[in-house]
Amino acid sequence: MRCFKVTVEFDGTEFCGFQLQAGQRSVQGEIERAVQQITGQPVRVVGAGRTDAGVHAMGQVVGFRADTRIPIERMAAALNSALPRDVAAVRAVEVDPGFHARFSAVSRAYAYLILLRDSPSALFRRYAWHLPVPLDVGAMQEAARRLEGTRDFAAWAGASETVTTVRTVTRCRLRQHGPFLMVHVEANAFLKGMVRTIVGTLVQVGLGRRAPEEVDRITGSRDRSQAGPSAPAHGLCLVRVRYPRIGIQGGARSAGRSSQDRGATDEDL
C-alpha cells in the first residue's frame, strides 16, 4: 500500500465545503471518486483543512493510501483526468506511511481578498468581497498585529469542537495592490470561521466603527458576540500548508521541485 500527498486547487463556489456531507457536493467527495476511478479501489481522502462552503484553495493538501502502479510522476495527471473542472491536482509526491495531511501540518496560511472600488468586478465576483467604500488600512494593520502570537481565540470563532481554543497566529498582515486589499493570516491551526471573523472585524476597524486596540478586549472576552460579523466566504482562499521535512518514497513530484530541495519545511502553493 502506497501513501500519497497531493496538493490541490479548487473553486469552492459550487461546493458545500471540503468535508463530506450527505446529499451534497463536497471537494473530498470529488477527489475520492477520482481516486477510485483511476485505481479501481475505494479510498478515504484526508485534507489538511476543512474549508467551509464557498471557500477556495490553491494550496490544500490531501493524503490517501492506495495499492496502485501509477507512477508518481503521472499521479497528478491521472487524477486530473477524472476530476471535475473546478478541482485540480497540482502536484503529487509519495511519502512515508506516517504522513497525515491534517495532523502532520505545522501551519496553514489563508488569504482574504477585498475589492475596494465603486463598481463591482465581473472577473473577481467569485473571489473577492466588493466594498464600495474607503477603508483606513493603517488602522486595520495595527489591529491585525494585535492578533499575532499565542492567544485564546474563542471570541473569533463559532462553537468549537476542539479541546482547546488556543492557537498561535504567526502572521496577520495586510497588503494593498491598486483596488485590491489582501489580508494574510497564518497560524498553526484555525478554529471554524476564525479567519472570516478576523476579516469582518478588521473591516469594521477600517470603517472607523472600532478602534484597533479593541481587538485586545475582544480576545480577552472569549465571547464571539464581541467580535464583528463574518466576512463572506467567497473572498477566502487556503493558499499554503507547511509541513516539516517528510520522507519521500517516490522521489519525484508531478510538478515543481522535490521537497528535499526545499529546506526544513514543505510549502505548497
Asked whether residue 70 falls in the same domain as residue 177, the answer is no
Considering the domain architecture, whether residues 227 and 134 belong to the same structural domain is answered as yes
CATH code for the domain in which residue 11 is found: 3.30.70.580
Averaged confidence pLDDT in the chain: 91
Q: Which residue, 42, 73, 104, sits at the end of a domain?
A: 104
Mean pLDDT of 31-60: 96
Residue 260 within a domain = no
CA–CA separation, 251 vs 258, rounded Å?
7
Q: Are residues 61 and 126 in the same domain?
A: no
Same domain, 122 and 93: no
Domain boundary among 40, 70, 104: 104
* Backbone φ, ψ for residue 110 (5° rounding): -120, 150
pLDDT of 252 over the 50 cut: no
pLDDT number for residue 160? 62
pLDDT (tens digit per residue) in 194-211: 999 999 999 999 999 999
pTM of the model: 0.90
Where does residue 69 rank: exposed (0-12), middle (13-18), buried (19+ CB within 10 A)? exposed
122, 227: one domain: yes
pLDDT of residue 82: 98
CA distances from 132 to 116, 179, 215 (A): 6, 10, 24
pLDDT bracket for residue 265 (50, 70, 90):
very low
Q: What was the pLDDT predicted at 32?
A: 98
Measured between alpha carbons, how far is 185 from 109 in angstroms, rounded to an integer?
Answer: 6
Of residues 225 and 254, the one with the higher pLDDT is 225
* Percentage of residues of the chain with pLDDT beyond 90: 88
pLDDT the model gives residue 264: 28
What pLDDT was estimated at residue 179? 97
Within a domain: residue 115?
Answer: yes
Per-residue confidence (pLDDT) for residue 40, from 0 to 100: 96
Q: Are 6 and 94 found together in one domain?
A: yes
If asked whether residues 144 and 206 sit together in one domain, one would say yes
Look at residue 132 and give its three-state secondary structure: coil
Residue 55, domain extent: 2-104
Q: How many residues does the chain have?
A: 269
The last residue of a domain, from among 104, 131, 147: 104
Q: Which CATH number do you get for residue 217?
A: 3.30.70.660
User: What pLDDT score was predicted for residue 246?
Assistant: 60
Asked if 120 and 94 sit in the same domain, the reply is: no
Co-location of 75 and 140 in the same domain: no
Residue 261 in domain: no
Q: Output the pLDDT for position 161.
A: 63
d(CA 149, CA 181): 23
Q: Indicate which residues carry an active-site annotation.
A: 52
Structurally, the chain folds into a number of domains equal to 2
Q: Given this model, what pLDDT does residue 254 score?
A: 38
- Asked if residue 254 belongs to a domain, the reply is no
Residues 55 and 170 in one domain: no
For 90-103, how does the pLDDT look when each residue is reduced to its tens digit (9 = 90+)? 999 999 999 999 99
What tens digit of pLDDT does each residue of 115-166 get?
999 999 999 999 999 999 999 999 999 999 999 999 999 999 987 666 899 9
Q: What pLDDT score was predicted for residue 163?
A: 81
Q: Please indicate, yes or no, whether residues 126 and 233 belong to a single structural domain of this protein.
A: yes
